[in-house]
């Protein structure tokens, strides 16, 4: 039996696993970038506050 239109089951599993892992890494990196953005914003506000105090 030859596979013409459908990939072998193991290849399908690896493809699905790859998509799931890439999606998880993407979602985790988005959350990390949000955290960095909040830290930079907080640092900027702290600098503004220190300049205003002087």
pTM: 0.48
43 touches 51 (CB < 8 A): no
Residue 3 confidence (pLDDT): 54
Q: How far apart are CA 27 and CA 14, in angstroms?
A: 20
3-state secondary structure at position 14: helix
Residue 27 confidence (pLDDT): 78
Residue 50 confidence (pLDDT): 84
Give the model confidence (pLDDT) of 2-52 as tens digits. 555 565 667 788 888 999 998 888 877 777 777 888 888 888 898 888 887
Q: How far apart are CA 37 and CA 33, in angstroms?
A: 6
Dmax over CA atoms of the chain, in Å, equals 80
3-state secondary structure at position 15: helix
**Is a pLDDT exceeding 60 seen at residue 1?**
no
- Domain residue ranges in the chain: 26-54
């Amino acid at each position: 039996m030859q596979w013409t239109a459908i990939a072998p089951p193991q290849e399908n599993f690896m493809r699905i696993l790859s998509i799931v892992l890439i999606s998880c890494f993407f979602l985790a990196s988005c959350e990390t970038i949000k955290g960095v953005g909040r830290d930079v914003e907080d640092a900027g506000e702290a600098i503004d506050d220190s300049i205003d105090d002087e």
